[in-house]
Amino acid sequence: MRGADKIRADFQEKTKEIELKLATVTGTIDILKGKGVPGAFNIKGTYSSSTIYNSHDVVAFNGGSWVAKRDNPGPIPGDGWQLLASQGSRGVKGERGPTGLAATPLKWIGAGLNFRNGVTLETRLSDGTMGAPVQLFKTISVDPEDFTLKFVGCDDSVLRISLLPLFEAYHRQTTG
116: in domain: yes
Q: Which residue has the higher pLDDT, 1 or 17?
A: 17
User: For a pLDDT cut of 90, what percent of the chain falls above it?
Assistant: 24
- Residue 57 and residue 10 in one domain: no
- Residue 121 and residue 152 in one domain: yes
pLDDT band at residue 26, thresholds of 50, 70 and 90? low
| pLDDT over 90 (residue 95) | yes
Average of pLDDT values for 43-72? 91
- Residue 114 and residue 151 in one domain: yes
92: in domain: no
103: in domain: no
Average of pLDDT values for 24-28? 58
CATH number for the domain spanning 46: value is: 2.10.10.20
Q: Using one digit for the tens of pLDDT, what is the confidence trace for 129-141?
A: 888 888 888 888 8
61: in domain: yes
Please state, in angstroms and rounded to a whole number, the distance separating the CA atoms of residues 176 and 167.
Answer: 14
Dihedral of CA atoms 125, 128, 132, 134 in degrees, nearest 10, equals: 50
Q: Using one digit for the tens of pLDDT, what is the confidence trace for 28-52?
A: 555 555 555 566 788 889 999 999 9
For the whole model, what pTM was predicted? 0.36
Q: Using one digit for the tens of pLDDT, what is the confidence trace for 102-120?
A: 677 778 888 888 877 778 8
Q: Which residue has the higher pLDDT, 71 or 38?
A: 71
Q: Which residues contact 18 (CB under 8 A, 6 or more apart)?
A: none
User: For a pLDDT cut of 70, what percent of the chain falls above it?
Assistant: 88
Report the number of distinct structural domains present in the chain.
3
- Residue 47 and residue 24 in one domain: no
95: in domain: no
Please report the sign of the dihedral spanned by the C-alpha atoms of residue 28, residue 32, residue 33, residue 38: positive
99: in domain: no
Q: What angle do CA 139, 142, 145 make, to 5 degrees?
A: 140
Which domain covers residue 2, as residue numbers?
Answer: 1-33
- Residue 74 and residue 43 in one domain: yes
Average pLDDT, the chain: 83
